[in-house]
Amino acid sequence: MDLTPTVDQEEIISSTRAFLADRLPVARTRELIEEPSNVDIDAWRGSAEQGWFGLGLAEALGGVGVGLADESLLFREIGRSLASGPFLATTLAVRVAAAAGLDDLAASLLDGTARAGLAEPRSQLGSFGPGSIDGDLDLFDPVGAEVVVLAGVEGAALLSMASLSGARAVECIDPATRLHEARADSAAPLAFVGADVDPVFLRGVTLSAASLAGMAEALRDLSAAHARTRLQFGSPIGTNQAIKHPCADMHIRAEAAWSQTVFAALALDEGRADAEFHALAAKVVASQAARRNAAASIQVHGGMGYTFEHDAHLYMKRAHVLGHVLGDARWAQARLLDLPVEL
Amino acid sequence: MELQFTKAEQEFRDEVRTWLSEHAPRERRPRELRAAREFDLSWQHTQYESGWAGIAWPVEYGGRGLSLTQQLIWFEEYARTGLVAIDSRFVGLAHAGPTLIARATPEQQTQHLPPILRGEVVWCQGFSEPEAGSDLASLRTRAIVDGDDLVVTGQKVWTSFAPIADWQELLVRTDTEVPKHKGITWVICDMRSPGIDVRPLRTIEGTAEFAEVFYDEVRIPMANVVGAVNDGWRVAMSTLSFERGTAFTIDQVQLAMTVDRLIDMARQRTGFDGRPLIADEAIAGDLALARAEVSALRAMTYAGVSRNLRRAEPGPEGSMFKLAWSELAQRVDRLAMDILGSGGLRRRHESPDTEWIDRYLSSYSNTIGGGTSEIQRNIIAERVLGLPR
């Protein structure tokens, strides 16, 4: 048992952090809000060159072949940087395409020439299986994507954009996320991979938790920096316990979120029987951490925190999106009560 | 990063589990203080006889000298026996003992360490005073050097197990002319010394393991000073890093067990409407969240132990665990009261529900004892996040 990163994993952290700081910092996400596509194509290709979309994919299938824990390190940094674009959906879609033998699609997703959006049911699906998918969907970042990936506990499907009807753009609470509504009318999926073949959904749950944990950390750091430097009544506001204590709570929530995410990722990597519980627990804890840290951060920043110019609200809004997709807290509740946990 | 334990560690876990299942006391720990003392010491003696005393103490001091990971495993398995995390052995084994190991003379160590391991003595802690709670260094219990003795006069308060203790780790003021941290001395006090008056304090639970301790010209040999006179603050601080991230493991594992018992209870008991309580959205939601959060607490413990495996000095994470555990435990104990409903109003010793009420009442101490939540938050904000004092 050792939850600290190895030397190789430290390398993943430092290289992804450096790439994101250079190519996709929060400031770039802000610029992309105003552009037709929220994907920076050059940075996207650059990410693909770094092997990001196949990090956890077996080498035999064209991936890098490291574990979900390593992939979680990447998604934590993506969350921290609030990088814009369908990183999570594309990473999941690659697995489905590769497992289903759609080699050309997998290759183009891996090399960054194609992208996948994320599909989420807007209400109970009529059907969800290899033969047909029926229901109202929300699509996240489908602009310019070849396919969308729809994942649930039973399995994960790839749907071509052309197989969906009535697609229309709606304004998302997160200005850096593109949201479309669409309908799958007994659509035939390009591929459907059962959870027994590859637990794509649980990987997505865990990776979204990793991004939320990274966001909770970023919000803690923004708040602490402000508390150290913002002067009021002649001294830094961080001297006041009314500021100090919420910052300490942000730290605990961020640590809880990341620790549980690593635990979940390793549980899945090592084939533990309680992996599903840990993934859902990570999602719930990280989702709460990101939202509550965002709320506390806005409060610590005072009037500045309420402006569009400050980044805290962008994290808050992304937290709502990521908290909702791939297993929200209300859905996870009953499973969290029922699933077994090993000591 | 990896979650699984090595084969040797898994074998160690099996060994611990087997030993505990064969030797841990099955009968309930008595409520009455004297009887509880005998229960605790007898259990300690059993551990000693089988070589399981002082699991974190170095071998040269008679301990088991377990690795940090083995300590974690020991605490996890210990928790499953249901034995309480903190009993009358706690100060000796986890606080005074480690301080003596770190700072005492060989003579002091030879006199005091073996009886702690053998389960012959109970120690208590004489730190807090009526005017020195969170601001511990402002303590005023006075000690004057008189020949070969310190003469101590003053008062300590909120001292757990004082009524049944043999020895006390006592902080006294030996210099009033210097900054407050620099005039404190750490001394071994014999609780049977003339001039000591222990007055039990009833807690909100109604028990009396708590006490005020009064000192009226109590003579303590200078030979009992640990470290140097006026160096007591540093001596006291040397203890704090001893646990290296495992201090709350028993509490954390038992909290996980408690949440699962509450879920069972909410499934079995029905509410006013005749439906199982688990059908209540609010109760189900709180229980599900608690189960996720208590899991995160374990993950944090593992992460903290992992970090400490790689460094000599532990970081300030102890404050983080303490705060996270104590506040979650309080929330869970309140939730139990919601599930008990009117049963939570009836304190009958023959009823199994009384245990939940006792837990709930004692949970108020979690966020106060060992440093209040407010102090823990200050420590995290200042030492981890670098906020100004």
Residue range B72-99: mean pLDDT, rounded? 94
Q: What rounded mean pLDDT belongs to chain B?
A: 94
Pairing of strands B123-126, B167-173: parallel
Residue A70 Ramachandran class (φ > 0 left, ψ -120 to 50 alpha, else beta): alpha
Chain B segment 7-66 residues within 8 A of A by beta carbon are 9
Return the percent helix, strand and coil in chain B, to nearest 5: 50, 15, 35
Q: Where does the pLDDT of residue B137 fall: very low under 50, low under 70, confident under 90, or very high at 90 and above? A: very high
Question: ipTM, 2 decimals?
Answer: 0.96
Give the model's pLDDT for residue B370.
87
Neighbouring-strand partners of residue A160 = A147
Chain B CB contacts of A290 below 8 Å: none
Decide if A72 contacts A57 (C-beta within 8 A).
no
- Would the pLDDT of B241 be above 60? no
Residue B350 is a catalytic residue: no
Chain A segment 247-266 residues within 8 A of B by beta carbon are 247-249, 251-252, 255-260, 262-263, 266
pTM: 0.96
Nearest-CA neighbor of A92 among A31, A159, A43, A25? A159
- Would the pLDDT of B107 be above 70? yes
- Would the pLDDT of B350 be above 90? no
Chain B segment 247-306 residues within 8 A of A by beta carbon are 253, 256, 263, 278, 284-285, 287-289, 291-293, 295-300, 302-303, 305-306
Decide if B314 contacts B308 (C-beta within 8 A).
yes
Which of A262, A263, A342 is the best substitution to test chain B (most B C-beta atoms within 10 A)?
A: A263
Give the model's pLDDT for residue A202.
98
CB contact under 8 A, B385 and A3: no
Give the model's pLDDT for residue B240.
60
Chain B CB contacts of A206 below 8 Å: none
Q: For B289-327, what is each residue's pLDDT tens digit?
A: 999 999 999 999 999 999 988 887 777 888 999 999 999
CA distances from B232 to B129, B138, B214, B262, B376 (A): 16, 13, 20, 44, 22
B209: amino acid identity, one letter: E
CB contact under 8 A, A3 and B285: no
Neighbouring-strand partners of residue A134 = A127
Residue range B321-335: mean pLDDT, rounded? 96
Distance from CA of A337 to the nearest CA of B (A): 5
Is the Cβ of B339 closer than 8 Å to some Cβ of chain A?
Answer: no
Kind plus residue range of the DSSP H or E element containing A159: strand A155-160
Decide if B141 contacts B257 (C-beta within 8 A).
no
CB contact under 8 A, A245 and B377: yes
For chain B, what is the largest distance between any 2 Cα atoms, rounded to a whole number of angstroms?
75
Packed helices A312-324 and A26-33: angle between N→C axes, nearest 10 degrees: 80
Question: What are the structure tokens assigned to A320, written together?
Answer: 């709502």
Where are the alpha helices (H) located in B81-179, listed in sequence order? 90, 97-103, 106-118
Kind plus residue range of the DSSP H or E element containing B43: helix B33-49
Chain A CB contacts of B374 below 8 Å: 241, 245
Nearest-CA neighbor of B69 among B289, B307, B294, B364? B307
CB contact under 8 A, B303 and A262: yes
Where are the alpha helices (H) located in B52-206, listed in sequence order? 68-80, 90, 97-103, 106-118
Chain B CB contacts of A251 below 8 Å: 320, 380-381, 384-385
Decide if A96 contacts A157 (C-beta within 8 A).
yes
CB contact under 8 A, B1 and A266: yes
Beta strands in B136-260 (DSSP E): 142-146, 149-156, 167-173, 184-190, 196-201, 210-221, 225-226
Distance from CA of A101 to the nearest CA of B (A): 31
CB contact under 8 A, B292 and A262: no
CB contact under 8 A, B287 and A337: yes
Distance CA B88, CA B43 (A): 11
Residues in CB range of B52: below 8 A, 6 or more apart: B19, B64
- Would the pLDDT of B243 be above 70? no
Q: For B158-211, what is each residue's pLDDT tens digit?
A: 999 999 999 999 999 999 999 999 999 999 999 999 999 999 999 998 877 899
- Would the pLDDT of B351 be above 90? no
User: Low-confidence residues of chain A, pLDDT below 70?
Assistant: none
Burial code of B269-303, b = ≥16 C-beta within 10 A, e = fewer?
A: eeeeeeebbbebeebbebbbbbbbbbbbbbbbbbb
A/B interface, count of CB pairs below 8 Å: 160
